[in-house]
């Protein structure tokens, strides 16, 4: 069965000031439990804010290192999930359910990509 990487993209300047509510965390926990019991979820986690990250960039053979926050970037990766699904359609259904548990106060984008095997 193919594996899929779901990247959660978030605009850190346009998210609830207090972060995820306890209600959201409860709904998220229930969904993650359901996905895990279905044998789909292989790994998932949220990421710390970009202010605590570092970028390492290669350009023309030269490496540069930049500490966050990354002010020139509107969206950053806020989390990920690796799922094993029977096909892309199943991966998309789980992605849609993940977005729906966030409610109206969040603006998120999920990038779902099949992992190259071999």
Residues 7, 82: contact at Cβ < 8 Å?
A: no
State residue 55's pLDDT score: 92
Structure tokens at 111: 């990038």
Are 8 and 77 a contacting pair, CB within 8 Å?
A: yes
Q: What is the pTM of this model?
A: 0.86
What domains are there in the chain, each with its CATH number? Answer: 3-114 (3.30.70.1060)
Q: Decide if 112 contacts 9 (C-beta within 8 A).
A: no
d(CA 18, CA 21): 7
The string of pLDDT tens digits covering residues 37-68 is: 999 999 999 999 889 999 999 999 999 999 98
Q: How confident is the model at residue 92 (pLDDT cuts 50, 70, 90)?
A: very high
For residue 24, cis peptide bond before it (omega within 30 degrees of 0): no
User: What's the CA gap between 87 and 94, in Å, rounded?
Assistant: 11
Measured CA to CA, the distance from residue 68 to residue 86 in angstroms comes to 37
Q: Quick one: tokens of 30?
A: 């229930």
């Amino acid at each position: 069965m193919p594996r899929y990487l779901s990247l959660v993209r978030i605009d850190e300047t346009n998210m609830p000031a207090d972060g995820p509510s306890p209600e959201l965390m409860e709904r998220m926990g229930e969904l993650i439990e359901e996905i895990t019991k279905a044998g789909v979820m292989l790994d998932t986690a949220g990421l710390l804010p970009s202010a605590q990250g570092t970028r390492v960039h290669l350009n023309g053979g030269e490496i540069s290192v930049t500490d966050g926050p990354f002010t020139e970037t509107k969206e950053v990766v806020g989390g990920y999930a690796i799922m094993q699904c029977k096909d892309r359609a199943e991966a998309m259904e789980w992605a849609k359910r993940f977005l729906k548990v966030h409610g109206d106060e969040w603006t998120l984008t999920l990038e779902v990509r099949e992992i190259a095997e071999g």
